[in-house]
Protein backbone atom coordinates (compact mmCIF):
# COMPACT_ATOMS: atom_id res chain seq x y z
CA UNK A 1 0.00 0.00 0.00
CA UNK A 2 2.77 2.45 0.72
CA UNK A 3 4.14 4.48 3.56
CA UNK A 4 1.28 6.99 3.52
CA UNK A 5 -1.55 4.46 3.99
CA UNK A 6 -1.44 4.40 7.81
CA UNK A 7 -1.11 8.21 8.14
CA UNK A 8 -4.09 8.59 5.80
CA UNK A 9 -6.29 6.33 7.93
CA UNK A 10 -5.28 8.26 11.05
CA UNK A 11 -5.85 11.59 9.29
CA UNK A 12 -9.36 10.46 8.36
CA UNK A 13 -10.08 10.20 12.09
CA UNK A 14 -8.28 13.24 13.50
CA UNK A 15 -7.46 15.83 10.80
CA UNK A 16 -10.38 18.18 10.14
CA UNK A 17 -9.39 18.82 6.52
CA UNK A 18 -9.02 15.16 5.58
CA UNK A 19 -12.05 14.12 7.64
CA UNK A 20 -14.25 16.59 5.77
CA UNK A 21 -13.02 15.19 2.46
CA UNK A 22 -13.67 11.63 3.63
CA UNK A 23 -17.17 12.44 4.85
CA UNK A 24 -18.02 14.20 1.59
CA UNK A 25 -16.87 11.20 -0.45
CA UNK A 26 -18.66 8.72 1.84
CA UNK A 27 -21.89 10.67 1.40
CA UNK A 28 -21.49 10.21 -2.36
CA UNK A 29 -21.26 6.44 -1.82
CA UNK A 30 -17.56 5.96 -2.49
CA UNK A 31 -15.97 2.72 -1.27
CA UNK A 32 -13.88 2.80 1.93
CA UNK A 33 -10.65 1.87 0.12
CA UNK A 34 -11.25 4.61 -2.42
CA UNK A 35 -11.78 7.10 0.41
CA UNK A 36 -8.46 6.05 1.94
CA UNK A 37 -6.84 6.52 -1.47
CA UNK A 38 -8.32 10.01 -1.71
CA UNK A 39 -7.06 10.76 1.81
CA UNK A 40 -3.57 9.63 0.77
CA UNK A 41 -3.77 11.97 -2.22
CA UNK A 42 -4.98 14.83 -0.02
CA UNK A 43 -2.14 14.24 2.46
CA UNK A 44 0.40 14.25 -0.36
CA UNK A 45 -0.88 17.67 -1.45
CA UNK A 46 -0.84 19.00 2.11
CA UNK A 47 2.71 17.74 2.67
CA UNK A 48 3.86 19.32 -0.58
CA UNK A 49 2.27 22.63 0.39
CA UNK A 50 4.02 22.66 3.77
CA UNK A 51 7.39 21.81 2.21
CA UNK A 52 6.98 24.30 -0.65
CA UNK A 53 5.93 27.28 1.49
CA UNK A 54 7.94 26.51 4.62
CA UNK A 55 4.87 27.41 6.69
CA UNK A 56 3.36 25.10 9.32
CA UNK A 57 0.08 23.35 8.47
CA UNK A 58 -3.03 25.30 9.45
CA UNK A 59 -6.53 23.87 9.23
CA UNK A 60 -7.99 27.38 8.89
CA UNK A 61 -5.82 28.33 5.90
CA UNK A 62 -8.64 28.05 3.36
CA UNK A 63 -10.84 30.44 5.33
CA UNK A 64 -7.97 32.91 5.80
CA UNK A 65 -6.50 32.72 2.28
CA UNK A 66 -5.52 36.13 1.05
CA UNK A 67 -5.05 37.58 4.52
CA UNK A 68 -1.64 38.37 5.96
CA UNK A 69 -0.22 35.09 7.19
CA UNK A 70 3.52 35.22 6.68
CA UNK A 71 5.92 37.40 8.65
CA UNK A 72 7.38 38.69 5.38
CA UNK A 73 3.97 39.96 4.24
CA UNK A 74 3.20 41.48 7.65
CA UNK A 75 6.45 43.49 7.62
CA UNK A 76 5.57 45.23 4.37
**Res. 70: pLDDT tops 80:** no
Q: pLDDT value at position 59?
A: 80
0.95 surpassed by pTM: no
Split at pLDDT 50, 70, 90, the class of 73 is low
pLDDT in tens, 12-63: 999 999 999 999 999 999 999 999 999 999 999 999 999 999 999 888 776 6
b/e per residue 3-42 (b: at least 16 CB within 10 A): ebeebbbebbeebebbeebbeebeeeeeeeeebbbbbbeb
Please, which residues have CB within 8 angstroms of residue 50's CB and are 6 or more apart in sequence?
56, 57
Give domain limits for the chain.
Answer: 5-75
Amino acid sequence: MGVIHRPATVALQFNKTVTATGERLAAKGMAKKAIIGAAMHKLAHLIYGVLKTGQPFRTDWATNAGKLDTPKQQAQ
